[in-house]
């Protein structure tokens, strides 16, 4: 047995390289990841690198892997990324500072362990950020062009659970019921987007993570209300549903007014749990918006967004969030 603890937040291709060296030196045949999305994704990356030749970046995309990975056991300690139950491996190319996604059913861990007792000690800020990541997964899966009734059911319940439990989990980390419900919500949201895919929030957040090393959940949380407003005209009925799932009273409202309540509910939740509301407060530079918009539209998550945008529109969303 060997322990590798060289994983950074927003795991890098260099982290995978270093972990692979340990994996090979110690002649390991199984990978156990403990933590949140960063160690899980790094572990998947090590598994890919151990079984595939060449640079990891060449496998960016969907179902590009040709060989089985070593068995992966994912022990999860946060409620948010759902990497422990999904086929996504998200890594950062340290040369280009761009996040890339390798999507393959071969990435799916053999065993996943979610125990809320492992989540009780997590800081409030981490709980908030990962919780908003889970909400973004659920919302984007629900509005995705690739959604279906099965993914809708999982996404809807995830939204409902997050709206009812995230504030409590942030306010009192030892609230076991809230922690358990958030663990369920994260799992359900992961099941939803694992099959329905995501959208522009994640495509844009990946650019913030790659260029600025911004925590993924924070990037999602800041962008979600603005992307939701952009997407609203594509399917206002779904956003009205989201408002109701989040506890808003939409009785007697027009569909558009009810849909607006979803955006208000998302924003209020984010503010209540202490998430920064503006990209300018996180060190982002306006000059980078055109480049980030260009790269966001090339991200694999962009293609299932319910509204098709262009670089100017994506840059405008970045400015609205600024």
Q: Does the residue 8 lie in any domain?
A: no
How far from each other are the two terminal CA atoms of the chain, in whole angstroms? 46
Same domain, 49 and 162: no
**Residue 287, in any domain of the structure:** yes
pLDDT given at position 306: 97
Domain containing 148: what range?
A: 118-321
In sequence order, the β-bridge partners of residue 101 are 90
Q: Are residues 61 and 196 in the same domain?
A: no
**DSSP letter at 88?**
E
- 220 and 128 both lie in a single domain: yes
Residues 253 and 283 in one domain: yes
Q: Do the strands 72-76 and 88-93 form a parallel or antiparallel pair, or are they unpaired?
A: unpaired
Question: Which residue, 67, 83, 114, sits at the end of a domain?
Answer: 114
CATH, residue 182: 1.20.1090.10
Question: Are 104 and 179 contained in the same domain?
Answer: no
| Domain limit, last residue, from 83, 114, 145 | 114
Same domain, residue pair 80 and 160: no
The answer as to whether 5 is a domain residue is no
How far, CA to CA in Å, does 304 sit from each of 64, 164, 196, 202, 208? Answer: 19, 28, 8, 11, 20
Same domain, 166 and 94: no
DSSP 108-127: S-SEEEE-GGGTTTS-HHHH
One digit per residue, the tens of pLDDT, for the chain of length 322 reads: 899 999 999 999 999 999 999 999 999 999 999 999 999 999 999 999 999 999 999 999 999 999 999 999 999 999 999 999 999 999 999 999 889 999 999 999 999 999 999 999 899 999 999 999 999 999 999 999 999 999 999 999 999 999 999 999 999 999 999 999 999 999 999 999 999 999 999 999 999 999 999 999 999 999 999 999 999 999 999 999 999 999 999 999 999 999 999 999 999 999 999 999 999 999 999 999 999 999 999 998 999 999 999 999 999 999 999 9
**Do 281 and 185 belong to one domain?**
yes
The reported pTM is 0.94
Whole-number pLDDT of residue 300:
87
Q: Based on the domain organization, do 269 and 149 belong to the same domain?
A: yes
Asked if residue 236 belongs to a domain, the reply is yes
Domain count within the chain: 2
Does a structural domain hold residue 2? no
pLDDT at 129: 97
CATH code for the domain in which residue 81 is found: 3.40.50.1970
Domain co-membership, 153 together with 53 = no
Distance CA 16, CA 137 (A): 25
Q: Are residues 231 and 196 in the same domain?
A: yes
* Domain termination residue (choose one: 96, 114, 132): 114
């Amino acid at each position: 047995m060997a322990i590798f603890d060289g994983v950074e937040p927003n795991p890098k291709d260099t982290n995978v390289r270093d972990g692979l060296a340990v994996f090979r030196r110690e002649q390991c045949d199984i990978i156990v990841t403990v933590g949140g999305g960063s160690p899980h994704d790094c572990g998947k990356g090590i598994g890919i690198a151990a079984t595939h030749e060449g640079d990891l970046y060449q496998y960016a995309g969907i179902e590009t892997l040709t060989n089985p990975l070593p068995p992966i056991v994912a022990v999860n300690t946060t409620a948010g990324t759902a990497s422990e139950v999904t086929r996504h491996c998200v890594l950062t190319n340290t040369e280009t500072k761009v996040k890339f996604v390798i999507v393959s059913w071969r990435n799916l861990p053999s065993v996943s362990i979610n125990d809320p007792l492992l989540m009780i000690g997590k800081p409030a800020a981490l709980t908030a950020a990962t919780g908003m990541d889970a909400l973004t997964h659920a919302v984007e899966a629900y509005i995705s062009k690739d959604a279906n009734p099965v993914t809708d059911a999982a996404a809807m319940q995830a939204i409902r659970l997050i709206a009812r439990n995230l504030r409590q989990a942030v306010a009192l980390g030892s609230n076991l019921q809230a922690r358990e419900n958030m663990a369920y919500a994260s799992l359900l949201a992961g099941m939803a987007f694992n099959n329905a895919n995501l959208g522009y929030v994640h495509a844009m957040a990946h650019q913030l993570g790659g260029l600025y090393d911004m925590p993924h959940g924070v990037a999602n949380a800041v962008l979600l209300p603005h992307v939701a407003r952009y997407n609203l005209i594509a399917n206002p009925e779904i956003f009205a549903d989201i408002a109701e799932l989040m506890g808003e009273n939409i009785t007697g409202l027009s569909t558009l007014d009810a849909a607006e309540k979803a955006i208000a509910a998302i924003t209020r939740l984010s503010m209540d749990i202490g998430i920064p509301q503006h990209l300018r407060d996180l060190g982002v530079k306006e000059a980078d918006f055109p480049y980030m918009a260009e790269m966001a539209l090339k991200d694999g998550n962009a293609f299932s967004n319910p509204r098709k945008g262009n670089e100017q529109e994506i840059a405008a969303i970045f400015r609205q969030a600024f």
